[in-house]
Amino acid sequence: MAIKSDLSESRTPADIVKTLRSGIGRVSEEVIEEIQARIPEYARPSDEIYIKVVRMAVEQAIEGFLDRVENPDAPWDPEPFRMIGKGEAAEGRNLEAFQAAMRLGARVGWRRLTEIAGPLGLSPQSLYDLGETIFVYLDALADAAAEGFDEARAHAAGEMERRRARLLDLLLSRPSAGPEVIADLAKAAAWRLPRTVACVALDDQHGACRLPPLPPDVLTGPERALPCLLVPDPAGPGQAQTLERALRGRRVAIGPTVPLASSATSLRWAGEALDLSRRGVLPRGLLRCADHMATLVVFKDEELVSAMAEVRLAPLAHLRPTQQDRLAETLLAWLRHGRGAGEVAAKLHVHPQTVRYRLRQLEELYGDQLADPDIRFELEIALRARQAVMSGH
């Protein structure tokens, strides 16, 4: 990189560089004192290593400037100032303090130039050209520092992302890693260990799971076989509302809230709920497993439920499909909402006399079975499963 200005075309006396080089130490001290006095971020009088780094940076800046004066076309190595930018990122600062320090140093340097301009016989044009060189050089330093700063921030963000992905893998493994391993990695990933979590299964039918803006404490796994999120303390203040806003319009399933060590269990239930949503058994959109636990339990072993339904719903098998549907709907409402015809009629939005007629049919079909609590329980499971399947078709 070459840093040029009109100074290469002026007739600046060569002895100005010699004079300035002889006073580098004094100017460096003055710049450092000004920086530490006026910029709090650099005021570390007890930190000898830090003072040494600041001094080296100031001296390199001055030496580099004098090199530009001597040979404006010479290539310039930005690496020292890229390292300064990286250092600012490592310190957790932005570049405002560094840029303020550069401007302050430039003012000190300009003051020294104006002091020696007269004794050296510098013309106003030469002094002007020197000032322009300072500003060009200042821009080059700022660009180099910004490049190093951005590179360090990107590297740090990538490393943090990798740590969090590894942490999510450990939390969702079965069996999960030990608590000490989890705690160490969580600390390295700057993630506060929560008491409870909930996993969110994300639909990724098109193979390009794009995550919405999320709170920084949510662990994300868009590249996993089942894309997911891990939400800490889901019952915390505002967490539910924040999550719903972020996921609105997407097909997702939020698993039950569990202890941190049971994260994989929450994801498993969320995945099963998402699968039932795809099949039409559960609604589309944002699902909470806690609102559909009965359906999830019923469909946990579909073969077993189907076998039980075949036995318990056998009395309806010989009826026409429309008759089966009406009687099954009435029987499920009777089992769920009470034994009175009025209550059932209100739930089904039909006349009570219609319900009484259907209930008499059911009594004829089932006989004494409806008096057995175990059979009623199995009937409700079978009818819930039937209802869920029918709603998905």
The DSSP secondary structure of 186-202, one letter per residue, reads HHHTT-PPPSEEEEEEE
In tens digits, what is the pLDDT along the chain, a chain of 393 residues? 444 444 444 444 456 677 667 766 777 788 888 887 887 777 765 556 666 767 777 878 877 887 777 777 777 788 888 888 888 777 777 788 778 888 888 888 788 777 766 666 667 777 777 778 788 888 888 888 888 888 877 777 677 888 898 999 999 987 667 888 889 888 988 899 999 999 999 987 655 567 778 888 999 988 888 999 999 999 888 888 888 888 888 889 999 999 999 999 999 999 999 999 988 888 888 999 998 888 888 888 888 888 888 899 999 999 999 999 999 999 999 988 877 788 888 888 999 899 899 999 999 999 999 989 888 888 988 888 888 777 655
Location of structure tokens 């499963």? 385
pLDDT in tens, 316-357: 999 999 999 999 999 999 988 877 788 888 888 999 899 899
> What is the pLDDT, as a whole number, of residue 274?
93
Location of structure tokens 């190093």? 148
171: left (phi over 0), alpha (psi -120 to 50) or beta: alpha
Token representation of residue 80: 């020292």
> What is the pLDDT, as a whole number, of residue 193?
94
**Is 85:144 a contact under the CB 8 Å cutoff?**
yes
CA-to-CA distance for 291 and 293, rounded, in angstroms? 6
Coil/strand/helix, residue 113: helix
Query: How would you classify the pairing of strands 286-288 and 252-254?
Result: parallel
CA-to-CA distance for 203 and 139, rounded, in angstroms? 48
> What is the pLDDT, as a whole number, of residue 353?
92
Task: List own/partner pairs for 217-221 with CB under 8 A and 24 or more apart.
Answer: 217/191, 217/192, 219/164, 219/167, 219/168, 219/171, 219/191, 220/164, 220/168, 221/165, 221/168, 221/172
Instruction: Cis check for the bond before 175: say yes or no (omega within 30 of 0).
Output: yes
